Amino acid sequence: MTLLPDSRGRFGAFGGRYVPETLIPALDELARAYEKARRDPKFKAELDYYLRQYVGRPTSLYYAERLTKKLGGAKIYLKREDLCHTGAHKINNAIGQVLLTRRMGKKRVIAETGAGQHGVAVATAAALFGLQCDVYMGTEDMERQALNVFRMRLLGTTVKPVNAGSRTLKDAISEAMRDWTTNVRTTHYILGSVLGAHPYPMLIRDFQAVIGKEARKQIMQAEGKLPDYLIACVGGGSNAIGLFTAFLKDKKVKMVGVEAGGLGIESGKHAARFATGSVGVLHGTMTYLLQDDDGQIQLTHSVSAGLDYAAVGPEHSYYKERERIAYTYATDEEAMAAFDLLARTEGLMPALESAHAIAYVTKLAPKLKRNQIIVANLSGRGDKDVHQVARIKGVSL
Amino acid sequence: MSRLQKTFSALHARHEKALIAYIMAGDPSLEETESYVRQLSEAGADVIELGVPFSDPIADGPVIQQAAERALRSGTSLKKILATVRSLRMKTQVPLVLMAYYNSIFRYGEAAFCRDAAAAGVDGLIVPDMPTDEAGTIHPLAEAAGLDVIFLLAPTSPSERQSRVARLSRGFIYYVSLTGITGAKLTDKVDVEKKVREIRRYTKTPVAVGFGIATPDDARQVARVADGVIVGSALVKLVAEGGQVSDRLASFTRSLKAATLPA
């Protein structure tokens, strides 16, 4: 398999740089800074240091024995990204990009956030290195994720409410891009998933690829063989691509990305881009997205703010068309059931995003043999979702 | 010679600068857009830019974002805008340029769009999120159809991008006066003059300046150094305020046009 993307930022037909001219030099600067950093052993050492000593890597690959027995099929391992500092894989990318920001000599970072996990990760990394930080967040998400809003404020970040459009992640990204266009000379935009214009999908994948590199080593140690399946939820798709990349050449390892099925595909209220979407351009990249016949981006719905977005990362579109990765979806209800199940059988509360991956595990595992292995990415922990879960269950706290 | 080229060379002969007026198509309805275009033209606008509403306009500030929302609510689509252009072409010869985000064109189909737009009487195309790097497929299609693709340059553009855009842009070059979005405030007019001069080293294609030009005074200062001034948000605001929109558009346009005449 050739190294992707190509020099134009393309994963086959997908990707590219569909942004205003004002931003092109900043994307070039970022690509150059990243190329240079990637070849600099000092950068690698610095990144490794913070991942190990600050984030708490490597995260464990945990054999979920009770869940395995309950489902009565394949052995289930969970890659415990929920154990990362700040509670999700997002910090891997935030630390990497903050280190790049320092190399570019910029003093201010901005970010968008849906569930708040990326926002918290960037706020944390900014505090760690003394950078000014503003995070854009849709007002609908601010309500769903009030705890994370407060966490960001405690870390010294200004949370900027976005009231436009659907008041969720899509609009937060648009607003962050406008800020970046305005302050591009002094500000670095830390995008949170494998989305946007080149080089973002590439460099964010590379910063998240540590997940799969560790998991591959860990499963070989634990089982002496590769897993049969890898499962991860897909919003933009950074935790998924982070887990999958190290296994792409292992043809026997099947990979499944789980999108947000919301209230069901028939309801039209979902974020399952591969189930009903088509190719288009949003926020700088060509990829599968949810749009109407006139190319207007459609509103999405998911119980999990982190999956509630109209487009998927371009590299996922590429592997979908090549049939290297399969995609399915889990509904809100299935994700909630998986949340309960994992909490009660393993004492692990998954983030509602990660609960979508677990929901698919509950369907898949019983169909497999006991000597088969599933590795699922527990990309984040559910503490941030406790209020939302209570609301859904009709419990007032 | 394209209609845009003819317009710029006629203006040049009269020592005038072009006034390029932007309104959002379909705000509040396409019928009204049609009558606004004629009024703008009669009041002195040399080129009319019609915004194609998009759900996620990343290069636009709140004024144009809200105009796009109103236009979408009134059921505006690219197809209907082309029908409006066709109807306008029976009544006016003013150059018409569409400003559309790339996804609107991609979804329509690049080839079909170039063919239909040119047939309807569209003269040029501005795509704020399509830098030259991504224009490889549409550029030959547009050229074959006789549609001028107008590329943008920004204050951040280095010389190699200035020369590339100068080579590829047809009709005129759109210089974005500031790092920012539409409707922002232009503060550094000295820098605009410097950049326009830099761009002119590479080409004889006219350079028009847009973003942050809100008053006749702004227009006068920019017209001194550029071949055209582009006014958008200030006009869109007049439409949004309602009332005697036609009269106010006409009188504001007259005052802007006066600012582009030789001193």
ipTM of the complex: 0.97
Q: Is B49 a catalytic residue?
A: yes
CATH number of the structural domain spanning residue B186: 3.20.20.70
Reported as a single tens digit per residue, the pLDDT across A20-50 is 999 999 999 999 999 999 999 999 999 999 9
Q: Do A178 and B181 touch (CB under 8 A)?
A: yes
Reported as a single tens digit per residue, the pLDDT across A363-379 is 999 999 999 999 999 99
- Nearest-CB residue to A19 (from B129, B161, B184): B129
Q: Which of B16, B49, B110, B218 is catalytic?
A: B49
Query: What is the average pLDDT across A230-253?
Result: 98
| Nearest-angstrom CA–CA distance, A304 and A354 | 9
The CA-based diameter of chain A, rounded to the nearest angstrom, is 56
- Number of Cβ atoms within 10 Å of the Cβ of A228: 18
Residue A116: closest CA among A333, A298, A352, A283: A352
- Is B58 within 8 Å of A196 (Cβ atoms)? no
- Nearest-CB residue to A297 (from B56, B78, B102): B56
| Nearest-angstrom CA–CA distance, B32 and A170 | 31
Residue A330: closest CA among A305, A309, A308, A357: A357
How far does B108 lie from chain A, in Å, by closest CA? 7
Q: Is A112 a catalytic residue?
A: yes
- Number of Cβ atoms within 10 Å of the Cβ of B5: 17
Q: Which residue out of A294, A297, A299, A300 would a mutagenesis test of the B interface target, given it has the greatest number of B Cβ atoms within 10 Å?
A: A294
- Residue span of the structural domain in which B242 resides: 3-260
| Nearest-angstrom CA–CA distance, A166 and A172 | 10
B66 by Cβ neighbours in 10 Å (0-12 / 13-18 / 19+) ranks as middle
Q: Do A280 and B106 touch (CB under 8 A)?
A: yes
Is the whole model's pTM more than 0.95, yes or no? yes
Q: Which residues contact B183 (CB under 8 A, 6 or more apart)?
A: B60, B61, B62, B63, B64, B212, B232, B233
Q: Do A294 and B104 touch (CB under 8 A)?
A: yes
- Is B30 within 8 Å of B76 (Cβ atoms)? yes
- Number of Cβ atoms within 10 Å of the Cβ of A50: 20
Across chain A, the runs of DSSP E, i.e. the strands, are 10-11, 14-15, 61-63, 75-80, 108-113, 132-138, 158-162, 187-189, 229-233, 254-262, 278-282, 285-289, 326-331, 373-378
Q: Nearest-CA residue of chain B relative to A283?
A: B58
- Nearest-CB residue to B179 (from A184, A281, A295): A184
> How many domains, in total, are found in chain B?
1
Q: Which residue out of A7, A18, A166, A286 would a mutagenesis test of the B interface target, given it has the greatest number of B Cβ atoms within 10 Å?
A: A18
Q: Is residue A249's pLDDT more than 90?
A: yes
- How does pLDDT run along chain B (263 residues), one tens digit per residue? 899 999 999 999 999 999 999 999 999 999 999 999 999 999 999 999 999 999 999 999 999 999 999 999 999 999 999 999 999 999 999 999 999 999 999 999 999 999 999 999 999 999 999 999 999 999 999 999 999 999 999 999 999 999 999 999 999 999 999 999 999 998 888 999 999 999 999 999 999 999 999 999 999 999 999 999 999 999 999 999 999 999 999 999 999 999 999 97
- Nearest-CB residue to A294 (from B107, B129, B134): B107
**Which A-chain residues 45-64 have CB contacts (< 8 A) with chain B?**
none
